[in-house]
Amino acid sequence: MTIVIAAVLAGAFAALAGALLGFAKHTWPTADGALVAAIDALLPQIQCAQCGYPGCRPYAIAISQGAPINRCPPGGEALVRSLSTLLGRSEHTAIDSRLPPFQNLLAFIDESRCIGCALCLPACPVDAIVGAHQQVHTVIARECTGCELCLPACPVDCIRLVRARP
Amino acid sequence: MARTVSSRSTPEIMRIVAIALCPGIVTSAWVFGEGVLLNVAVAACLGIGCEAALLRLRDQPVAPTLIDGSALVTSLLIALALPPSTHPLLIAFAVGGALGLGKHVYGGLGANPFNPAMVGYALLLVSFPAQLAAWPQFEGGVDQVTGATALETFKHRGGATVSDIWTAANGFGRYGVDGFESINAAILVGGIGLVAMRIIDWRIPAGVLGTVTLLAAVTYDGGSSASLGSPAFHLTSGAIMLCAFFIATDPVTCPTDARGRWLFGALVGALIFTLRSYANYPDGVAFAVLIANAATPLINRLEYRRVVAQ
Amino acid sequence: MNRAINDFVGGLCIEEHKDHRHLPSEHAPLPQLLTLCLSHRGSALQSLVSPSTAVLGGTPIADGDVMLHAPTSGTVEIIDGRWIHLRPDGEDRHAEPFPALDAHVSADLLLNRIHSCGVVGLGGGGYSCADKMQQARAANARTLIVNAVECEPWVTADEVLLREHTDDVLRGVDSLARLLDDPKIVLAIDPRNSAVDRLAHATTSRHGIELLAVPARYPAGSERQLTQIVTGTRLPAGARPLDVGAVVINVATAYAVHRAIQQGEPLTRRLISVTGPGITHPRNVWVPIGYPVDHLLAHCNGGTNATVRMGGPVTGASATSDAAVDKTTYALSIVGPPARIDPCIHCGQCDAVCPEGLSVDALHFHADRRDLAAVDRLHLFDCIECGACDLACPSAIPLLAQFRRLRIALAERADAEVRAEHARTRFERQQRRQSRDRAEEEQRRIKRIEAGRPWLAQ
């Protein structure tokens, strides 16, 4: 009899605690936001979208909901390590081998070939390209993260990648 | 960089510490006979051999590390702490425990949190308490009888006053335990030499001896049946000087800055007095040092500060 | 000579190894090629000459934070936009010097001259002397400290310069003092310095220069420590001497100021010590700026670049294979074979000698584990890189080199963080703008439908 009472009490306590935890998780989404911010702080903010999400913050949100942590080539293995420490997830140790390695280069517009179409402007995630219709565009080297997203946007292939200044 | 200052290298420091132990070893041998020298010889050989073997096991270069002399110092301290003519197997047990469990499992010299010599000694003490109580007693100085040490006799004197036990039991000298008075004096000489050469920080022995003296003076009631012993008794008995100058001052396991060292010395002193007076073992040096070692990271942490004017 | 009443924290007594202090200075022969770097303290200099032109000694060849002049006559080439190579023609012809300025010209004229002669701090810092004095004027500095301490072992260039050109140095000091409003002038010097007698003699006939003997302890000549010795105020973390109303000028800088003002001569050469435990005959040599290190070593029968440090044996950084003497090179030190490194026994000597009171032992512990956050918390950036911990360490652990590497790593990490934060802000701003644009477009579409023109809503 005593055992039954103890088991019932223990079970009830466990259920109560579980319910409280579940309640807390759903009631205070700020905790979730804090997790996203913590993940976002680790991501390199190249905004290259190679992970399959439109930018670093969207990827951070996806990771917080369970997306794989090995899809950021600019972050490299160091990022995978720090993410697995942060999240306690150890299923990955290296970057997905299907993703091309990050080269850390800067975009450079060949001004003799640029036709001023302005198609690359919205492609740049950090507004690092300045220009207007019928005006030659250029890349602000200080702002460029080297995400390579402007390359496919250019219809005349006048953007190439150059080595960053040391 | 190449040394442009005439400071002493780490191996030199270890060698000087070993030399400073010599007066204590010689006096101990003079008091207790050649058994002490036997201890020292066995411990030194075992220590060097054991260090070499452990370095080989860890795939470390043996020769350069062996000559740093830290294993020798550890072995000598153990040899001095053990009763004369301790069985070589027991010495091997202590030395192996000291260098193996006390030092190399943590990554060798400099990485150990506890004083290796005291780890080895404490291991032996808790494993073979009876054998370690086998100190010779004095009766006319010639025929040595093995029995309870004077510190133990004093502690378990069962209601006798201090002067009673002094006259009733063997083994008491002018101030403290006979024989240990002169050994402690000799070790004090070596210790003062180390302080003068700035090999050890004077604050630690000052902290240890000061606290023991202070506590003994406060609690001493002139020798009643409940008396805990006079300051002079505490300062001349057991391994107090060895602890204050050679064991507690091990740089690896003591705090790194002045205030921390005062605190550490005081902690060791308070623990020695408390363990001697109330704990099961007659002398509490090993446990006092080990407990204080455990507090060292915390003391260091307290002292992570800057002196820079704010 | 007065003995300093104030002292600094920490420090240690070391052997000086300055037996060559009594030798007279020498002149190095002109090399085949001088290499002048087109950057100064990390900022680029603009070349003022076109390639393959012939220049005279003293011609300005680059400008920026500081001016750079051709040390001798010859042909210049610009390499990679980062170096100027000057091939001396061997005649060593010089351009007409500036006219000497007399005692009563305005401060602006003096500052202008100091700048246009390219004078920088020659004690190793390399900060523009004109800028420093300008700031000192703006801050109304009341103490001019002339740093003749030269506490680093083996280095005697300042001492020999001071002994051989005592009056010139003091004239330079006078010129600098004119830039300030009647400052207290303190010439701080080690009492063992061989120029003390000459100085004592020279300063008795002058008014207003106090000769101060500093404690014979390393690093008494470090700027922050010297300021404390002279003013009695310990500089808070990150503070400069100017924050307590003091400006510190090296004796070699004072000499260069004298040459600039009274001789009209730009800074194109300096006296450096070629010294260290790895060379048989340490000496002091006048060399033109840009002198290749390997040539100088060959001239002095020294070692190879691999064993040389640019600067003193304690604080100098390893030289690269194509290194050349620049304005901040006060010594070349040939070090002996490296000492055996023993494990750290946590003896606390490094903590005790650190003049900035850092927990060096803890710094080293975390540095070994490359814990950047921890070393930052332990104030790695307040390290003045004096190397006192290196000197004190019984296990010969190269602490200074380790801390320098960590500082670079920390700076890189901080830089990456700043860049990431910047990119994040810009990305989020763009996201907001795009969603706002989409919403507005939607609004306009709805309005067009409501206006009864649904055919325009496509």
Tens of pLDDT, residues B171-199: 566 666 667 888 899 999 999 999 998 88
The closest alpha carbon to B293, from B243, B225, B258, belongs to B243
Among A82, A126, A150, A165, the strongest candidate for a mutation testing the C interface, having the largest count of C CBs within 10 A, is A126
Residue B89 in this model has a pLDDT that exceeds 90:
yes
CA distance A110 to A116: 11
CA distance C364 to C397: 9
ipTM: 0.82
Q: Could you say which residues from 5 to 34 on chain A have a Cβ atom under 8 Å away from some Cβ of chain C?
A: none
If one compares B112 and B158, the residue with the highest pLDDT of the two is: B112
In this prediction, residue C292 carries a pLDDT of: 92
State the nearest Cα–Cα gap between B22 and chain C, in angstroms.
23
Q: Do A145 and C434 touch (CB under 8 A)?
A: no
What backbone phi and psi angles, to 5 degrees, belong to C186? -120, 120
CB pairs under 8 A between A and C: 38
CA distance C348 to C355: 14
Tell me the one-letter amino acid at B54.
Answer: L
In this prediction, residue B174 carries a pLDDT of: 62
- Helical (H) or strand (E) element with C132: helix C129-138
Among the partner-chain residues C421, C427, C434, the one whose CB lies closest to the CB of A47 is C427
Tell me the one-letter amino acid at C237.
Answer: A
- Helical (H) or strand (E) element with C213: strand C209-213
Residue C317 in this model has a pLDDT that exceeds 90:
no
Kindly report which listed range (B7-16, B91-100, C258-267, C349-358) carries the lowest average pLDDT score.
B7-16
CA distance C115 to C119: 6
Decide if C364 contacts C400 (C-beta within 8 A).
no
Among the partner-chain residues C9, C278, C337, the one whose CB lies closest to the CB of B307 is C9
Give the helix, strand, coil percentages of chain C, each rounded to 5.
40, 20, 45
In this prediction, residue B74 carries a pLDDT of: 94
- pLDDT tens digit string along B112-157? 999 999 999 999 989 988 777 777 665 444 344 444 566 766 776 6
Residue C226, class by beta-carbon neighbours within 10 Å (0-12 exposed, 13-18 middle, 19+ buried)? Answer: buried
Find the Cα–Cα–Cα–Cα dihedral C94, C99, C103, C107, rounded to 10°. -90
Contacting residues of B for C359, CB less than 8 Å apart: 256-257, 303-306
Among the partner-chain residues C343, C391, C395, the one whose CB lies closest to the CB of B5 is C391
CA distance A147 to A139: 13
Decide if C12 contacts C353 (C-beta within 8 A).
yes
- pLDDT tens digit string along C375-424? 888 889 899 999 999 999 988 899 999 999 999 888 888 888 888 888 88
- CB atoms inside a 10 Å sphere around CB A1: 5
Q: In chain A, what is the greatest distance between 2 CA atoms, to the nearest angstrom? A: 91
Q: In chain C, what is the greatest distance between 2 CA atoms, to the nearest angstrom? A: 103
Q: Do B2 and C343 touch (CB under 8 A)?
A: no
In this prediction, residue C398 carries a pLDDT of: 92
Q: Do C395 and B108 touch (CB under 8 A)?
A: no
pTM for the structure as a whole: 0.81
- pLDDT tens digit string along C219-258? 999 999 999 999 999 898 889 999 999 999 999 999 999 9
Give the residue from chain A lying closest to C422, CA to CA: A143
With b for 16 or more beta-carbon neighbours within 10 A and e for fewer, the C288-323 pattern comes to bbbbbbbbbbebbebbebebbbbbbbbbbeebeeeb
B63 touches chain C (CB under 8 A): no
Among the partner-chain residues C420, C428, C431, the one whose CB lies closest to the CB of A44 is C420
- Average pLDDT on C310-331 reads 89
What percent of chain B stands above pLDDT 70? 80
In this prediction, residue A6 carries a pLDDT of: 94
- C-alpha dist (Å) from residue C251 to A155, B4, C124, C135, C332: 64, 25, 12, 19, 18
Residue C323 in this model has a pLDDT that exceeds 90:
no
Among the partner-chain residues C14, C234, C394, the one whose CB lies closest to the CB of B13 is C394
Decide if C23 contacts C283 (C-beta within 8 A).
yes
Decide if C158 contacts C121 (C-beta within 8 A).
no
- Average pLDDT on A97-116 reads 87
Helices (H) and strands (E) in chain B — how many of each? Answer: 16, 2
* pLDDT-based confidence at residue C284 (cuts at 50, 70, 90): very high
- C-alpha dist (Å) from residue C90 to B306, C31, C72, C159: 55, 9, 8, 30
Average pLDDT, chain B: 83
- CB atoms inside a 10 Å sphere around CB A27: 9
If one compares A34 and C18, the residue with the highest pLDDT of the two is: C18
In this prediction, residue B150 carries a pLDDT of: 64
- Average pLDDT on B228-242 reads 85
Contacting residues of B for C12, CB less than 8 Å apart: 5
Q: What would the DSSP string read from start to end of C348-386? A: -HHHHH-TT---HHHHHHHHHTT-HHHHHHTTGGG----
Signed CA dihedral, C235, C236, C238, C239: sign only: negative
The tokens describing C178, both together, are: 């004119």
> What residues pair up with C143 in beta bridges, in sequence order?
C184, C246
- pLDDT tens digit string along C151-210? 999 999 999 999 999 999 999 999 999 999 889 999 999 999 999 999 998 887 776 889
- Helical (H) or strand (E) element with B88: helix B88-96
Residue C103 in this model has a pLDDT that exceeds 80:
no
C454 touches chain B (CB under 8 A): no
Average pLDDT, chain C: 89
- Average pLDDT on C52-68 reads 90
